[in-house]
Amino acid sequence: MRIAMLGTRGVPAHYGGFETAVEEIGSRLVERGHQVTVFCRGEEERPSTYKGMDLVHLPAVHGRAVETLSHTGVSVAHLLRGRGHDVAVVFNAANVPFLPALRMRGIPTALHVDGIEWLRAKWGGLGRHYYRAAESLAVRWADALIADAEGIAEYYRTEFGATTEMLAYGAPILPDPAAERIGELGLAAHDYHLVVARFEPENHVADIVAGYRRSAAVRPLVVVGSAPYNDAYTERVRAIAGGDPRIRMLGAVWDQEQLDQLYANALTYLHGHSVGGTNPSLLRAMGAGTAVVAYDVVFNREVLGRHGDFFTDPGELPGLLAAAEADPQRQVTLGARLRARAARRYQWDEVAAGYEHLLKRLDAGESQRGRFTGRRRAGLTT
């Protein structure tokens, strides 16, 4: 098949879960004999191919509300002018307005809906209304909907009576991680707590920092992340940290080897994400064999099973951190169980096989487009 993948920043993956998924899935589809084209946002380095995938670099209008839509629009226009594609995978429900154009060209499309985007605090009233409308249109217009977590699949069943393809992410497994790169940061193995997150309210970085500050933890808190288009939230996190010498704000870490070692050598990984589906950062911590303290929502419980600790309020963190520091061996044991769970349940080869099976069905004419009205049956409150 000739497969187009669009709606993300593209590859190589330097940013988030969608980009990692495109790289891991697209490269495996190439290995399976398919021709894959990935539409990428402009970068300084613009290779024409990567891991066997053909890359098309196109511009975007910068700005939180318009960057994704502008780039996808240009990508669709380019795709429709160019050589034929048999099927397309579009990421992000926001891009649903472009699905009819693909369908008119005879290109069946699977739409990866991501999380419940309208619940993200970064969107104002207009953004929330847009995403709620986009969900309804996605149910009506997509040939297939892809969910990466059972919680997301259940949301679409409950809200719209719609079916989805459950295709999660894979977890990179680090069975014998090194530690020399964390020494460059003045850190020692199993001697710090770690947060890795984009600085957005629904990722609860500020709450984690606040909870840590209330604790008597001896081991430092290492905070990795940044906030594109949200300087105010970054300042809020820094203000809450308040110059506490135990808190290390590293900003974004783009060196993947060093980042892997940060995950693998933490005593605990503190995970505050709350509105997405299966989160790649959580899977990375699990694959690295690190114990996890996660915000208590259905998505995180689904991924961690019985082997995680959970919090809903910053006030719960001091006790959890104290327990972790008092019993490091329990943390090691929990981390080993999580790594085994990740290796068993989150394999990129199986994910890619699931995408291939779905796209073959779409290429053969299968579609759920028009089966569902897009009207909400229950509706969540804002």
Alpha helices in the chain (DSSP H): 17-31, 67-81, 99-104, 125-141, 150-160, 180-183, 205-214, 231-241, 256-264, 280-287, 298-304, 317-326, 328-345, 348-363
Segment-wise mean pLDDT, segments of 10 residues, the chain, 382 residues: 96 82 97 97 82 95 82 94 90 94 95 77 76 93 95 92 95 93 96 94 95 98 84 91 95 93 98 89 96 96 96 97 98 97 97 98 96 80 42
- For the chain, give the number of residues: 382
Return all residues near 301 (Cβ < 8 A) that are at least 6 apart.
294, 308, 310
Which is it for strands 87-91 and 109-112: parallel, antiparallel or unpaired?
Answer: parallel
Superfamily of domain 2-170+348-363: Glycogen Phosphorylase B; (3.40.50.2000)
Q: What is the pLDDT of residue 65?
A: 67
Q: Do domains 2-170+348-363 and 180-345 have the same CATH topology?
A: yes
Distance CA 326, CA 119 (A): 37
Q: What is the pLDDT of residue 114?
A: 80
- What are 294-303's pLDDT values in tens digits? 999 999 999 9
Domain spans in the chain, listed from the N-terminal domain onward = 2-170+348-363, 180-345
How confident is the prediction for the chain on average, in pLDDT? Answer: 92
Backbone angles phi, psi at 30, to 5 degrees: -60, -45
Q: What is the pLDDT of residue 118?
A: 59
The domain 180-345 is placed in CATH, from the list 3.10.129.10, 2.40.30.270, 3.40.50.2000, 3.10.580.10, at 3.40.50.2000
Distance CA 58, CA 47 (A): 12
Q: What is the pLDDT of residue 381?
A: 45
Distance CA 287, CA 336 (A): 9
- Closest by Cα among 171, 201, 145 to 304: 171
Distance CA 106, CA 113 (A): 21
Sheet holding 292-295, edge to edge: 247-251, 221-224, 193-196, 268-271, 292-295, 309-311
Q: What does DSSP assign to residue 330?
A: H
Alpha helices in 242-347 (DSSP H): 256-264, 280-287, 298-304, 317-326, 328-345
Q: Which amino acid appears at position 244 of this protein?
A: D
Distance CA 209, CA 61 (A): 33
- Closest by Cα among 163, 167, 168 to 369: 163
Give the tokens for residue 380: 């969540």
